[in-house]
Amino acid sequence: MLNRGTRLTAWLALQKCPVMVQIMLVVSIIVALVLLFHKSDENPIPVNVLENQKWNRFESLVQFNPEREFRNGTDLIWQIPDSPKAVIFLAHGCTGRAANFWDRSSKCPKCVGLPEERFITLHALARKYAVLTVSSAGECWTFDKEKLIVEDIIRWWVKRQKLEKLPLVALGASSGGYFVSALANDLKFSSITLMIIEGLFDQMDIIEGYPPTLFVHMPKDVSRRQKITEFMQVLKNKGVEVSEIECMELPLSPTFLSDRIPGLNQTVSARLFNLFKEKGFIGEDGYMKRDGRATSWRKALQESKITLLKKDLEHPVEEELNLAFAYHEMTSLQSEQIFNWFESHMT
């Protein structure tokens, strides 16, 4: 951004050069028109973030009560609400696993319940979706044998649960988004959501009847945004319906972490917020200055000599810092729009 001095100099230069003023005026009008038409074309859905976003807001509606099974060398975790109206397959990103989508419980003692993942699951269950999660065999998903295995698992599971008549949708984040974009060429999804990823559309022959595709992405990741814009056009040219939701950065507050992370209380949340501010990780405006992964907040925490945070809460905190920075992270903040969108494509 220009500071006042440069702005003044630029203005003085313009005063001396009226032609320049006219050119700039014309350029601004063109830019404004391009933005206007670009926006109305892509139809981004408005996002009211952080409204009713407390970690326990689903408590009265739905409880975690998942089933688990080991099959084809991987871990399946699922839950089916009463009278399900659809089935959703959720695919984690690299280093993720099925257990991240479910809170720890007697049914699933090894479950982890990361804040964004668990929110997505709860949203789905509250809306009466049967939720199926599977772990990737390695750190990230792969696209040869693993793709066939997981397709086989989904078909088998849907049949065994007698859910074949229901619409099937999928949501994958990052590596999971690549994976879902590839599965959609083989399985019959009514629609799919690709989160923070452009999909594998430059590496596959998109089938006739490829499902409507919603891109939920963080425009701060500029190169990915460009690819998404490019691939949306590729899909449109194939007659595939596309849409996008842009996820913007959010300011932190003293209760941001305690609002979103189960087991982290307001005292700890406020102390972390103050520490991060003191250390300059958060600006005066409350926004993260860098991605959580690139911020040495764990070190600052150790040095502060206050044992504030239980070890198992570090991962959730980092996820929320990444979410606030809005560069590349799983996000549940747009769940309402995502599920509305799924439901508007279930003919």
Ligand X SMILES: *[C@@H]1O[C@H](CO)[C@@H](O)[C@H](O)[C@H]1NC(C)=O
Q: Which chain residues interact with ligand X by CB under 6 A?
A: 71-72, 148-149, 152, 265, 267-268
C-alpha to C-alpha distance for 140 and 137, rounded to whole angstroms: 8
Cβ density class 262-287: b for 16+ within 10 Å, e for less: eebeeebbbbbbebbeebebbeeeee
Whole-number minimum distance, CB 141 to ligand X, in Å? 15
C-alpha to C-alpha distance for 329 and 217, rounded to whole angstroms: 9
- C-beta separation of 73 from 42 below 8 A: no
What is the DSSP secondary structure assignment for residue 207, as one 8-state letter?
Answer: P
Block residue for tokens 């814009």: 229
Taking the chain, what is the end-to-end CA distance rounded to the nearest angstrom? 48
Give the distance, in angstroms, between the CA of residue 285 and the centroid of all CA atoms in the same chain.
Answer: 24
Nearer to ligand X, 149 or 294 (CB): 149
Whole-number minimum distance, CB 220 to ligand X, in Å? 32
Whole-number minimum distance, CB 322 to ligand X, in Å? 22
Closest CA to 292 of 314, 270, 312: 314
Whole-number minimum distance, CB 27 to ligand X, in Å? 55
Whole-number minimum distance, CB 308 to ligand X, in Å? 7
Helix (H) or strand (E) run with residue 317 in it: helix 314-325
Measured over the CA atoms of residue 46, residue 168, residue 219 and residue 113, the dihedral's sign is positive
Whole-number minimum distance, CB 282 to ligand X, in Å? 21
